Amino acid sequence: MNKKILIIVVVLALVMAITAYLNRGDLALKRDMQENAIIALKVEDTSVQMDLQKIRELQVEDFAASLKSNGQDPRQVTYTGVALKDVFAAAGLEITGKDMVIVKAVDGYTVALSVEEVLDDQNVYLVFQRDGKPLGKKEEGGFGPYQVVIRKDAFSQRWCKFVSEVGVQ
């Protein structure tokens, strides 16, 4: 009987150790992606990574938006970024004909957009600067390195901060 319990305890400890080990690798990868401002774009089984240098080569635009932060009056800010649809096009990923665009952040926050609104002109942007300054990382009190801003959505709940991945299905 004691032997049985011992075996169970050893097996559980092994499972925990393996899980912790696997998660550690994942966390290290995520930290590295944040450090280098890498964003992952996924369509079905294809995943393409882009960095800030590549994103800056696209059609970069400045636009004004009304920012509503918790407990503060709305204020006008200027965002700098690129249309999210251009990012997919540059990655060689076709999103026309798909349904949903799922934006994921490092804090686990997830936002669902329709492909229709992503393909809409002057609407969904992947931004990397606010008022001319980089968004900053989460650990530094920032909200980047990337944020998705939906210009035609006045409420900022779906303006996903700390974006690490955008998947289409």
Ligand X SMILES: Nc1nc2c(c(=O)[nH]1)N[C@H]1C(S)=C(S)[C@@H](COP(=O)(O)O)O[C@H]1N2
Handedness of CA 139, 144, 148, 150 (dihedral sign): positive
* Cβ at position 71, least distance to ligand X in Å: 8
Name which of 167, 164, 168 is nearest 34 in CA terms.
164
According to DSSP, the residues that pair with 124 across neighbouring strands are: 150
Residue of 80, 149, 162, 164 that binds ligand X (CB under 6 A): 162
- Specify the residue, 90 or 117, whose C-beta has the smaller distance to ligand X: 117
Burial class of residue 7 (count of CB atoms within 10 Å of its CB; 0-12, 13-18, 19+)? exposed
Q: Is the peptide bond before 145 cis (omega within 30 degrees of 0)?
A: yes
Q: Which stretch binds ligand X (CB under 6 A): 5-13, 83-91, 92-100, 104-112?
A: 104-112
* Cβ at position 4, least distance to ligand X in Å: 46
Name which of 77, 71, 68 is nearest 127 in CA terms.
77
* Cβ at position 114, least distance to ligand X in Å: 18
Q: Which stretch binds ligand X (CB under 6 A): 9-17, 45-53, 101-109, 119-127?
A: 101-109
User: With contacts defined by CB under 6 A, how many residues of the chain interact with ligand X?
Assistant: 11
For 157, which DSSP code?
G
Q: Is 69 in the site for ligand X (CB under 6 A)?
A: yes
Chain centroid to CA 55: how far? 14
Q: Which stretch binds ligand X (CB under 6 A): 8-16, 18-26, 30-38, 102-110?
A: 102-110
Q: Is 80 in the site for ligand X (CB under 6 A)?
A: no
- Specify the residue, 3 or 152, whose C-beta has the smaller distance to ligand X: 152
Q: Is 157 in the site for ligand X (CB under 6 A)?
A: yes
